[in-house]
């Protein structure tokens, strides 16, 4: 399909602004380069973007079991609330007395999400999960420095971790110590014991982990790190399995990030904006980025900067309207709905796992939490059909493929996370498709190598794209 | 009260039985018993949709919406065409994840490719990425692009937005990088101080254009100073100003970054906004985050795909130069739709009207004794002296006008095309009463 | 697969061509490139870099992975093959012409194999 630059004609435009009602001025150093932005009519514009929207698979287009991404339904009431002019038309630097509602949103969200996670304070400044990781690690760094301990230079990360974990640790100035997972996919407790020492600043962990298993040794793990003088960081990517059931704070974690755009139902927008709220125990609270919101005795809200704040991690206060959406969600679900969502996420995953086990090999054949990982290495050897081929076969059946080739410790991995907002009928239909593709791999492998056939485009030349990068439109 | 769970009790029982457990709690057998929260979760009961609408709307109503805004300082209320909201609220675009599966994500991928192109057009740079969180983090991320073994120190102008400087400082605390703040002189970067402080270990210098006080810097001359010291020149620019001012490329920038909020995004109490980053061809592989490239499929059809991904955290892990994963894709889409709706003519109009109206206000204020604190050219913001800033702002406030931001030495005013001459005249009349 | 007899080979699949003046060319073997798949970029070292045997001195990227290239030598990088920046496919198409770095002042070398020994090594 044509690019927007290839549509319209010079002179086509939309009249958006009146003529200027004051004398016009100009700069001494004006722009010399032409500005070849699109020139299209409003009809052309809307048709262009409608056509683009039709070439996207969103949560409302069909099943989206993308592991580790928690693609649950995004409630419409959340969008309505975030679009209230009383939120969208507020300047971030208005006087405090005129933004009490915004501050109440932050204060209420902090209170409720701290309760769900077992934390004492929470900042909403980080814009995404990785940004939250970076922030949380800086809290750990500031904490150790404040104690006068600058010898702790290492962060321990299991080899099953999300790539953001080690990358964030390095951005925070740490050296990464990778520890291998045990055969059951969980932390190898002895390897951890051997890895900790006086140079350990902390451990980063996802629990349930990236293979969908709750680490039963979690208390021992956090104790080993604490005994060595380190702190424990919880990557909240998988909180949907356990929210309202068990709290990271009770597992021994000192600092966490949440992905409000996963667990708390805010949409992903094709890659963002998200919100990577960071919660912490009282010992890290003085180091949080400023400003934080505090409630005074008279019930009014105020900005305060924590005593030993690490400083800002972004402009202003965070992805505010994303927090409005998450708050709306938490208020809707409440005390009973939060754990109910987690339980059904786990039930849905186990149900799918049970059905798919009929043919597919599970990487870890034990009851899972909210997601599970299949290992297609056998299938590849038997039929030549890879995890990628199965994924592309799913596309022809209207299903968004699971996360592929992650975690790295499982070969030919497909990681499936159905979420609680899918019905049994949807799960059954999806399982039928998965099983059908397994049969197809054995009967007609080529058909899967050729998939997809029904999508707007077929498999792309990614090697060519990377070797000869074309990263923008240029007029011929 | 809802939790958006479609399955009925009967269906859940069927599924439990298929899985082979008695009750859903059995699935949590690996969680130590005494760790379970049970009934102790201190949360309010869930609400119906009507109740939650009332509760959240009540919060929104506690905020004050100003019909007239004369305050910017990093968040700018510009006109947003109706078509922008209509496009960017389409469900497919809102609810999709990062476009990992290119075959069913062409819409998102193409919109990013178009956004990258438009950022290149605005800044004059060669390559842009798919967005980062905001202008402050874009500035902070640019440091890692410039550092190498020999050049380890970063520099920033004191005339940059204070939030941007603070964000850079925080990132530098992380990476153990020294950040030098080059002092201000009369509302602009002190070029002599800059020249004197850039050493052989200087990696980059960040200049904001127009700067925090709204003043135009002599960017090209500053770029020459930075390059003479062998460092990289990073410019943080207002994208709307780019329609009329010399582009970063024309000023010799190696990297151009900025806050994309003025491009069709609500001020929304500070976010979500949009960080953009663009670079010269020589530096594009150092850009953090996602980049979309054009290629073709097995049938030769043109398509778009996330490319150069081996730079990123999910592949490079601890060797990645940035950890960014989620970005601000929907905000980038918004900017793309906005720029298309405005077109070259409309964008220039928005820029020129904002600037002209700001100059009009500055002249009117001068007539009543509020002089500009700094000489020289400015875009759509400026600082005036003011003896009684609080009294002035209070009086405007009573009239439904959000006045400028109190800063050291006076008030930082901002005018966009949203404010009419009548509104400006009214504001000046009110101020005159107070002063 | 092709393993020229005039070259020496490391266990981590680099080839070494010793030159007369205590310098050497280093690249990756045919086996390495076939395992790595289509290479799309190489992060070259910089002339003047001191490199150490059995440690990474540059990396190569495919679409889905990045892999370290391990130095078989201890020495100083005298020159790098800039052509590979624009044409990383040379690493796949002609791995023995696509030298990565010329190393001089060589002070140490890991135990290298001849072509026959290397061929046997990769058979295992």
Q: Are both A120 and A224 inside the same structural domain?
A: yes
Q: Are both A426 and A458 inside the same structural domain?
A: yes
pLDDT of residue B316: 87
Task: Give CA–CA dist B224/B229, Å, rounded.
Answer: 9
Q: Which of A332, A361, A381 is the last residue of a domain?
A: A332
A3 touches chain C (CB under 8 A): no
Question: B351: closest CA among B275, B254, B227, B246?
Answer: B246
Task: Give CA–CA dist B60/C100, Å, rounded.
Answer: 61
> Which residues between 119 and 138 in chain B have a beta carbon less than 8 angstroms from any beta carbon of chain A?
120-122, 124, 126-128, 130-131, 133-137
* Element (DSSP H or E) covering residue B67: none
Give the pLDDT mean for B38-63.
97
Beta bridge partners of A101: none
pLDDT above 70: residue A355: yes
Quick one: how far is CA A369 from the chain centroid?
18
pLDDT digits (tens, 9 = 90+) for A297-322: 999 999 999 999 999 999 999 999 99
Q: Are both A164 and A83 inside the same structural domain?
A: yes
- Cα-based distances in Å from A444 to A383, A392, B309: 9, 14, 32
Give me the torsion for CA of A138, A143, A148, A152, rounded to 10°: -60
Question: A183: closest CA among A409, A406, A411, A412?
Answer: A409
pLDDT digits (tens, 9 = 90+) for B295-308: 999 999 999 999 99
One DSSP character per residue, B240-304 reads TGGGTBPPTTTTT-SEEEEE-TTTT---GGG-S--EEEEE-GGGGGG--S--EEEEEBTTS-EEE
Nearest to A69 among B20, B97, B316 (CB): B97
Q: Going by DSSP bridges, is the β-strand pair A403-404/B275-279 parallel, antiparallel, or unpaired? A: unpaired
Count the neighbouring beta carbons within 10 Å of the beta carbon of residue A28.
Answer: 9
pLDDT of residue A13: 87
How many CA atoms lie within 13 Å of A190's alpha carbon, on the beta-carbon side? 2
Q: Is residue A211 situated within a structural domain?
A: yes
* B309:C40 CB<8 A: no
Q: Going by DSSP bridges, is the β-strand pair B184-185/B178-182 parallel, antiparallel, or unpaired? A: unpaired
In contact, A341 and A240? CB cutoff 8 Å:
yes
**Quick one: DSSP state of residue A45?**
H
* B295:A64 CB<8 A: no
Confidence of residue B435 (pLDDT cuts 50, 70, 90): confident
Q: Is residue A175 situated within a structural domain?
A: yes
Sign, CA torsion A315/A319/A320/A323: negative
Count the neighbouring beta carbons within 10 Å of the beta carbon of residue B215.
Answer: 26
Rounded to 10°, the helix A387-395/A424-443 angle is 120
pLDDT digits (tens, 9 = 90+) for B149-159: 899 999 999 99
Q: Are both A127 and A276 inside the same structural domain?
A: yes
pLDDT digits (tens, 9 = 90+) for A85-136: 999 999 999 999 999 999 999 999 999 999 999 999 999 999 999 999 999 9
Domain that holds residue A135: 77-332
Question: A4: closest CA among A12, A213, A465?
Answer: A12
Q: Which of A295, A310, A332 is the last residue of a domain?
A: A332
Beta bridge partners of B406: B411
pLDDT digits (tens, 9 = 90+) for B168-204: 999 999 999 999 999 999 999 999 999 999 999 999 9
Nearest to C88 among A405, A462, A467 (CB): A467
* Element (DSSP H or E) covering residue B13: helix B9-19
Task: Give CA–CA dist B413/B214, Å, rounded.
Answer: 9
Quick one: how far is CA B239 from the chain centroid?
10
* C63:A405 CB<8 A: no
Look up the CATH number of the domain holding residue A458.
3.90.1150.10
Nearest CA to CA, how far is A468 from chain B (Å)?
A: 9
- Residue B203 CB partners (closer than 8 Å, separation 6+): B143, B146, B147, B148, B151, B152, B153, B154, B231, B232
In contact, A163 and B353? CB cutoff 8 Å:
no
Rounded to 10°, the helix A164-171/A129-146 angle is 40
The number of domains in chain A is: 2
Give the pLDDT mean for B368-389.
96
The pTM score is 0.97
The share of chain B scoring above pLDDT 90, in percent, equals 96
Q: Which of A269, A301, A332 is the last residue of a domain?
A: A332
Nearest to A336 among B46, B219, B421 (CB): B46
- Three-state DSSP class for residue B365: helix
Structure tokens, B399: 């009239």
Count the neighbouring beta carbons within 10 Å of the beta carbon of residue C45.
Answer: 21
- Which residues on A lie below 8 Å from C89 (Cβ)? 467
pLDDT digits (tens, 9 = 90+) for A96-107: 999 999 999 999
Task: Give CA–CA dist B312/A302, Å, rounded.
Answer: 39
Q: Is residue A17 situated within a structural domain?
A: no
Nearest residue in chain C measured CA to CA from A467: C40
Angle at A294 between CA A289 and CA A300, to 5 degrees: 145
pLDDT digits (tens, 9 = 90+) for B96-144: 999 999 999 999 999 999 999 999 999 999 999 999 999 999 999 999 9
Task: Give CA–CA dist B303/A258, Å, rounded.
Answer: 34
Domain segments of chain B: what residues?
9-61, 68-79+345-434, 82-336
Q: Are both A295 and A163 inside the same structural domain?
A: yes
- Three-state DSSP class for residue A158: strand
In contact, A120 and A255? CB cutoff 8 Å:
no
Alpha helices (H) in A91-128, listed in sequence order = 100-117
Q: Are both A107 and A157 inside the same structural domain?
A: yes
Question: A387: closest CA among A413, A354, A367?
Answer: A413
Quick one: how far is CA B118 from the chain centroid?
16
Q: B68-79+345-434: what CATH class?
A: alpha beta
| Domains in chain C, CATH or no CATH each | 8-111 (2.40.50.100)
In contact, A377 and A410? CB cutoff 8 Å:
no
Beta bridge partners of B69: B402
Q: Is residue A24 situated within a structural domain?
A: no
Q: Are both A360 and A231 inside the same structural domain?
A: no
Size of the A and B interface in Cβ pairs below 8 Å: 694
Task: Give CA–CA dist A392/A395, Å, rounded.
Answer: 5
Ranges in chain C, pLDDT < 70:
none
pLDDT above 60: residue A388: yes
In contact, A255 and A280? CB cutoff 8 Å:
yes
ipTM above 0.90, yes or no: yes
Q: Are both A260 and A389 inside the same structural domain?
A: no
Q: Are both A232 and A280 inside the same structural domain?
A: yes
Question: A114: closest CA among A207, A218, A253?
Answer: A253
Give the pLDDT mean for A2-24.
95
- Which residues on A lie below 8 Å from C85 (Cβ)? none
**Residue pointed to by tokens 């800044």:** B123
Chain C interface, mutation test: which of A466, A468, A469, A471, most C Cβ atoms within 10 Å?
A466
Q: Is residue A45 situated within a structural domain?
A: no
- Cα-based distances in Å from B20 to A196, A343, A372, B244: 40, 16, 17, 68
In contact, B346 and A14? CB cutoff 8 Å:
yes
pLDDT of residue A476: 67
In contact, B218 and B249? CB cutoff 8 Å:
no
Q: Are both A142 and A186 inside the same structural domain?
A: yes
Structure tokens, A86: 């009383």
Count the neighbouring beta carbons within 10 Å of the beta carbon of residue C56.
Answer: 15
In contact, A110 and A121? CB cutoff 8 Å:
yes
pLDDT of residue C124: 83
pLDDT of residue C22: 86
Give the pLDDT mean for A181-196.
95
First to last CA, chain B: 55
Q: Are both A221 and A93 inside the same structural domain?
A: yes
pLDDT of residue A460: 97
Size of the A and C interface in Cβ pairs below 8 Å: 14
Residue A273: phi and psi, rounded to 5, are -75, 145
pLDDT above 80: residue B2: no
Q: Is residue A263 situated within a structural domain?
A: yes
Q: Going by DSSP bridges, is the β-strand pair C56-62/B410-414 parallel, antiparallel, or unpaired? A: unpaired
How many CA atoms lie within 13 Å of B142's alpha carbon, on the beta-carbon side? 39
Q: Going by DSSP bridges, is the β-strand pair B232-237/B255-259 parallel, antiparallel, or unpaired? A: parallel
Count the neighbouring beta carbons within 10 Å of the beta carbon of residue B5.
Answer: 24
Count the neighbouring beta carbons within 10 Å of the beta carbon of residue B185.
Answer: 14
- Which residues on B lie below 8 Å from C61 (Cβ)? 310, 315
In contact, B277 and B289? CB cutoff 8 Å:
yes
- Which residues on C lie below 8 Å from A467 (Cβ)? 38, 40-41, 88-89
* Element (DSSP H or E) covering residue B328: none
C104 touches chain A (CB under 8 A): no
pLDDT digits (tens, 9 = 90+) for A214-268: 999 999 999 999 999 999 999 999 999 999 999 999 999 999 999 999 999 999 9
Mean pLDDT of chain A: 97
pLDDT of residue C21: 85
Angle at A212 between CA A209 and CA A216, to 5 degrees: 65
Chain B interface, mutation test: which of A51, A66, A270, most B Cβ atoms within 10 Å?
A270
pLDDT of residue A146: 97
In contact, A6 and A474? CB cutoff 8 Å:
no
Nearest CA to CA, how far is C63 from chain B (Å)?
A: 7
Omega within 30 of 0 (cis) for the link into A347: no
pLDDT above 70: residue B284: yes
pLDDT above 60: residue B1: no
Look up the CATH number of the domain holding residue A319.
3.40.640.10
Q: Are both A270 and A363 inside the same structural domain?
A: no
Omega within 30 of 0 (cis) for the link into A72: no
Question: B315: closest CA among A154, A469, C61?
Answer: C61
- The CATH code for residues B82-336 is 3.40.640.10
Task: Give CA–CA dist A370/A207, Å, rounded.
Answer: 11
Omega within 30 of 0 (cis) for the link into A204: no
Task: Give CA–CA dist A387/A392, Å, rounded.
Answer: 9
Question: A72: closest CA among A372, A431, A371?
Answer: A371
Confidence of residue B242 (pLDDT cuts 50, 70, 90): very high
**Quick one: DSSP state of residue B409?**
T
In chain C, DSSP assigns E strands to 8-9, 14-18, 24-28, 39-43, 50-51, 56-62, 66-70, 73-80, 101-109
């Amino acid at each position: 399909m044509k690019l927007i630059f290839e549509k319209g004609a010079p002179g086509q435009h939309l009249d958006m602004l009146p003529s200027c009602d004051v004398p016009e001025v100009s700069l001494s150093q004006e722009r010399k380069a032409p500005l070849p932005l699109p020139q299209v009519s409003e009809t052309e514009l809307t048709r262009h973007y409608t056509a683009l929207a039709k070439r996207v698979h969103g949560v409302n287009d069909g099943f989206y079991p993308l592991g580790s991404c928690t693609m649950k339904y995004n409630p419409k009431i959340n969008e309505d609330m975030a679009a209230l002019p009383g939120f969208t038309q507020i300047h971030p630097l208005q006087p405090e007395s005129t933004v009490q509602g915004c501050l109440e949103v932050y204060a209420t969200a902090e209170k409720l999400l701290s309760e769900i996670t077992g934390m004492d304070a929470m900042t909403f400044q980080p814009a995404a999960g990785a940004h939250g990781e970076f922030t949380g690690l800086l809290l750990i760094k500031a904490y150790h420095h404040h104690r006068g301990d600058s010898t702790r230079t290492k962060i321990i990360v299991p080899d099953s971790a999300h790539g953001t974990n080690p990358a964030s640790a390095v951005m925070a100035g740490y050296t990464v110590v990778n520890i291998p997972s045990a055969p059951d996919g969980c932390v190898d407790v002895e390897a951890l014991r051997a890895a900790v020492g006086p140079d350990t600043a902390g451990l980063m962990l996802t629990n349930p982990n990236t293979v969908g298993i709750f680490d039963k040794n979690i208390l021992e793990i956090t104790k080993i790190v604490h005994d060595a003088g380190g702190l424990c960081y919880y990557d909240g990517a998988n909180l949907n399995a356990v929210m309202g059931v068990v709290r990271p704070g009770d597992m021994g974690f000192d600092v966490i990030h949440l992905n409000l755009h996963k667990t708390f139902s805010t949409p992903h927008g094709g890659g963002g904006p998200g919100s990577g709220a960071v919660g912490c125990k009282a010992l890290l609270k003085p180091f949080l980025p400023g400003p934080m919101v505090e409630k005074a005795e008279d019930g009014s809200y105020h900005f305060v900067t924590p005593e030993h704040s690490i400083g800002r991690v972004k402009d202003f206060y965070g992805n505010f309207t994303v927090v409005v959406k998450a708050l709306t969600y938490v208020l809707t679900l409440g005390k009973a709905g939060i754990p109910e969502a987690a339980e059904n996420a786990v039930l849905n995953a186990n149900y799918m796992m049970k059905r798919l086990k009929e043919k597919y090999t599970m990487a870890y054949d034990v009851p899972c939490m909210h997601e599970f990982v299949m290992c297609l290495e056998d299938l590849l050897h038997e039929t030549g059909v890879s995890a990628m081929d199965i994924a592309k076969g799913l596309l022809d059946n209207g299903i968004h493929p699971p996360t592929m080739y992650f975690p790295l410790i499982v070969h030919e991995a497909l990681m499936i996370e159905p979420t609680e907002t899918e019905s049994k009928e949807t799960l059954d239909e999806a399982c039928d498709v998965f099983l059908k593709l397994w049969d197809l791999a054995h009967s007609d492998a080529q058909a899967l190598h050729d998939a997809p056939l029904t999508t707007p485009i077929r498999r792309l030349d990614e090697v060519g794209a990377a070797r000869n990068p074309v990263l923008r439109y240029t007029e011929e | 009260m809802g939790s958006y769970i479609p399955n009925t009790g009967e269906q859940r029982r069927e599924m439990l039985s298929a899985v082979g457990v008695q009750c859903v709690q059995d699935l949590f057998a690996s969680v130590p018993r005494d760790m379970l929260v049970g009934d102790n979760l201190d949360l309010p009961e869930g609400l119906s949709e009507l109740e939650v609408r009332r509760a959240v709307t009540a919060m929104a109503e506690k905020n004050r919406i100003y019909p007239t805004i004369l305050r910017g300082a990093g968040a700018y209320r510009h006109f947003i065409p109706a078509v922008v909201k209509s496009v960017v609220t389409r469900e497919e675009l809102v609810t999709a994840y990062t476009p990992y599966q290119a075959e069913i994500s062409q819409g998102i991928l193409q919109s990013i490719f178009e956004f990258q192109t438009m950022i290149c057009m605005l800044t004059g740079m060669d390559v842009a990425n798919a967005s980062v969180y905001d202008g402050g983090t874009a500035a902070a991320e640019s440091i890692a692009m410039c550092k190498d073994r020999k050049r380890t120190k970063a520099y920033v102008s004191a005339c940059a937005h204070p939030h941007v400087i603070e964000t850079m400082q925080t990132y530098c605390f992380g990476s153990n990088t020294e950040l030098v703040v080059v002092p201000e002189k009369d509302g602009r970067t002190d070029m002599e101080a800059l020249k004197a402080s850039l050493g052989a270990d200087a990696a980059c210098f960040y200049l904001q254009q127009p700067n925090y006080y709204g003043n135009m810097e002599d960017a090209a001359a500053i770029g020459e100073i930075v390059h003479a010291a062998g460092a990289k020149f990073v410019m943080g620019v207002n994208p709307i100003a780019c329609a009329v001012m010399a582009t970063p490329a024309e000023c010799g920038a190696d990297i151009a970054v900025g806050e994309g909020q003025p491009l069709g995004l609500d001020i929304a109490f500070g976010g979500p906004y949009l960080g953009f980053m663009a670079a010269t061809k020589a530096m594009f592989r150092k850009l953090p985050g996602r980049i979309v490239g054009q290629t073709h499929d097995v049938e030769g059809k043109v398509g778009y795909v996330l490319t150069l991904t081996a730079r990123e955290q999910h592949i490079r892990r601890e060797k990645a130069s940035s950890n960014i994963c989620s970005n601000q894709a929907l905000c980038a889409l918004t900017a793309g739709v906005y720029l298309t709706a405005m077109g070259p003519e409309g964008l220039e109009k928005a820029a020129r009207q904002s600037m002209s109206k700001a100059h009009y206000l500055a002249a009117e204020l001068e007539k009543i004794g509020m002089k500009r604190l700094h000489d020289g050219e400015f875009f759509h913001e400026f600082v005036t002296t003011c003896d009684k800033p609080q009294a002035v702002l209070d009086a405007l406030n009573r009239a439904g006008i959000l006045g400028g931001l109190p800063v050291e030495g006076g008030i930082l005013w901002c005018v966009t095309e949203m404010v009419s001459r009548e509104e400006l005249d009214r504001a000046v009349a009110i101020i005159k009463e107070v002063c | 697969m092709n393993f020229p007899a005039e070259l020496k080979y490391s266990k981590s699949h680099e080839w070494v061509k010793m030159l007369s003046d205590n310098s050497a060319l280093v690249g990756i073997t045919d086996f390495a490139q076939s395992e790595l798949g289509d290479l799309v970029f190489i992060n070259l070292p910089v002339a003047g870099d001191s490199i150490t045997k059995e440690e990474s001195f540059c990396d190569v990227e495919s679409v889905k992975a990045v892999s370290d290239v391990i130095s078989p030598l201890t020495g100083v990088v005298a020159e790098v093959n800039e052509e590979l920046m624009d044409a990383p496919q040379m690493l796949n198409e002609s791995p023995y012409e696509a030298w990565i770095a010329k190393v001089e002042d060589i002070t140490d070398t890991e135990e290298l194999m001849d072509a026959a020994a290397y061929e046997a090594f990769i058979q295992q």
